[in-house]
Amino acid sequence: GGWWFWDPVENASFLPWLVGTALLHSLAVTEKRGTFKSWTVLLALGAFSLSLVGAFLVRSGVLVSVHSFAADPDRGIFLLIFLLLVIGGSLALYASRMNSVRSQARYQLFSREVMLWGNNVFLLTATLVVFLGTLFPLFHKELGLGTISIGEPFFNQMFYYLTIPFALLLGLGPWVRWKQQPVKPLLRPFSLIAVASLTLALGTLAAMQSIQANLALLGLLLGAWVGVSALYELYQRLSQFGSVTKGAFKLHASHYGMTIAHIGFAVLVVGVAMTKTYSVERDVRMQINDSISLAGYQFTLLEVYPLDGANYGGEAAEIAVHNSKGEFISQLHAEKRFYTIQRTVMTESAVHARLSRDLYVSLGEALPGNAWALRLYVKPFVRWIWLGGLLMALGALVALLDKRYRRGSSRLTAASNSEATNA
């Protein structure tokens, strides 16, 4: 399926993650400024409810997916009833206490509150896109309107449109003050950030001899914009303590967590753009000692031999890989297994991973003439996608280490209000 196939079960786990990310940003406004209280409560309810929706979709057999668990209608009915009780009870409780979570804080159009509100809008729009794209084919079929399929092109296109303004806000947001931000003080730093981003993007494409790759250029620009902005803002914040060294020990862990998470998003965007632009795959017919060139790499089929595992048989292939200079890179081992008890065929792809690219080889069927079908992949920067996700998770963990979150609520409120005043 690739790095993200928009499988229904994958989407079901993605939905609460999107709303949970919106919740984290909304909590920042509630903590610092005492506003967005109702919105934050609703996001918390939504994130938990979507987790239950995901469990229902996976366990009930409503959606067809290679990742689904065994269908259990009884369990699905139980989860559906539990979901309705949780949502109904939570909304009823919220309605009964609505007056206690109202806020009266004031802020201007160009303020951090509005930046974070915009962040929430784009995250929830993305949630709606994934939710409708996943469930609309089911509703369409159940209403007797026929069978339709919504796949990768729809999701990718919609997320292209959403990622651009979201990334722009992500680069801008940490620089904007609470309540109101004058524009003039931001002109110089953002001029430097824009120049640095453009230089990095064009320099990377020039090194790859592909200046005209539009998607890659856009992804590099957005990733550089977010990453450079996060690092430069961190430097400026540390410098406010007199020196970077002093600031490194005084700055709150939550700020480091935010910076790491934003850099993770930048790395993810670059990885997605570069992988989508430069990935190459090819289905080939190869005999022993045949060589195929693909994206600057030469794949040579050395041998194919039978497998005899504990509960499976099949065939394995050894493939040598050289670069364009003829230098040996690796010998890959790919398998095609047949499990005798389950009567199923499984492909064990060979993978050679590096930070800048992955090489994959999958062994297919035997062909006439003592030949075999193989599928070869070269996927540049695909590891950056996983690295970006790990950095975002690391950022969240670092933020949780902030000592302020282990204090009493009154002291936390006082510290938050003091920081909001000084920001």
pLDDT at 410 over 80: no
Report the greatest alpha carbon distance in the chain. 79
Tell me, yes or no, whether 283 lies in a domain: yes
Strand partners, 312: 339
Phi, psi torsion values for 12, nearest 5 degrees:
-60, -35
What is the extent of the structural domain holding 301?
Answer: 278-382
Averaged pLDDT for residues 359-371? 95
> pLDDT tens digits, residue range 37-62?
889 999 999 999 999 888 888 777 77
Distances (CA, A) of 212 to 206, 278, 335: 10, 12, 38
Tell me, yes or no, whether 349 lies in a domain: yes
Phi, psi torsion values for 235, nearest 5 degrees:
-60, -45
Residue 72 confidence (pLDDT): 61
| Contacts (Cβ under 8 Å, ≥6 apart) of 96 | none
Across the chain, what does the average pLDDT equal? 88
Tell me, yes or no, whether 310 lies in a domain: yes
Averaged pLDDT for residues 131-148? 88
> pLDDT tens digits, residue range 157-187?
999 999 999 999 999 999 998 888 888 989 9
Residue 72 and residue 56 in contact, taking contact as beta carbons nearer than 8 Å = no
- Taking alpha carbons only, the member of 177, 360, 192, 367 closest to residue 279 is 360
- Taking alpha carbons only, the member of 49, 33, 52 closest to residue 41 is 49
Q: Which stretches of 208-302 are DSSP H helices?
A: 214-239, 244-250, 253-278
> pLDDT tens digits, residue range 313-355?
999 999 999 999 999 999 999 999 999 888 899 999 999 999 9
Distances (CA, A) of 235 to 63, 83, 259: 48, 46, 11
Tell me, yes or no, whether 376 lies in a domain: yes
Residue 135 and residue 50 in contact, taking contact as beta carbons nearer than 8 Å = no
Distances (CA, A) of 247 to 201, 236, 240: 30, 10, 7
Residue 28 confidence (pLDDT): 87
Tell me, yes or no, whether 83 lies in a domain: no
Tell me, yes or no, whether 361 lies in a domain: yes
pLDDT at 95 over 50: yes
Residue 360 confidence (pLDDT): 96
> pLDDT tens digits, residue range 283-324?
999 999 999 999 999 999 999 999 998 889 999 999 999 999
Lowest mean pLDDT among 75-79, 230-234, 385-389, 411-415: 411-415
pLDDT at 111 over 60: yes
d(CA 120, CA 132): 18
Tell me, yes or no, whether 293 lies in a domain: yes
| Number of domains present in the structure of the chain | 1
Tell me, yes or no, whether 196 lies in a domain: no
Q: Give the strand pairing for 280-287 and 357-367.
A: unpaired
